[in-house]
Amino acid sequence: MNADMTTYEHVGYSAGLRGRWLNRYVEYMKTRWGDTERSKCLDGYAFEWAERFNDGVDYDASDTGGKKILLAIDKRWIDNIYKSYEIAIDVALEETI
């Protein structure tokens, strides 16, 4: 593990995560492990989890507490998509009137 990789963003990116999946991983790790980011990155634990996210087994590899965090993250993401569609529909309707 590269000694410069002391943030979840760097670790997740090096494991192949991008965009929403990188953001989801970072949010999970920060929620789950709080202020231990540097140590989790340096000891390789963060990279193990980044690989799990990249392989799509993050939910299956999580315990009950981790699954609750992932479900909450995903629910917020879905809610935001729904709100975006509502706004787009409202704008389209206003433009046709």
- pLDDT tens for 32-69 read 999 999 999 999 999 999 999 999 999 999 999 999 99
Tokens 């970072």, located at residue: 26
Dihedrals phi, psi of 85, to nearest 5 degrees: -65, -40
**CA nearest to 28, candidates 62, 78, 79, 5:** 62
What percent of the chain has pLDDT above 90? 70
Amino acid at the residue 11: V
> For the whole model, what pTM was predicted?
0.79
Q: Pick 78 or 26 by higher pLDDT.
A: 26
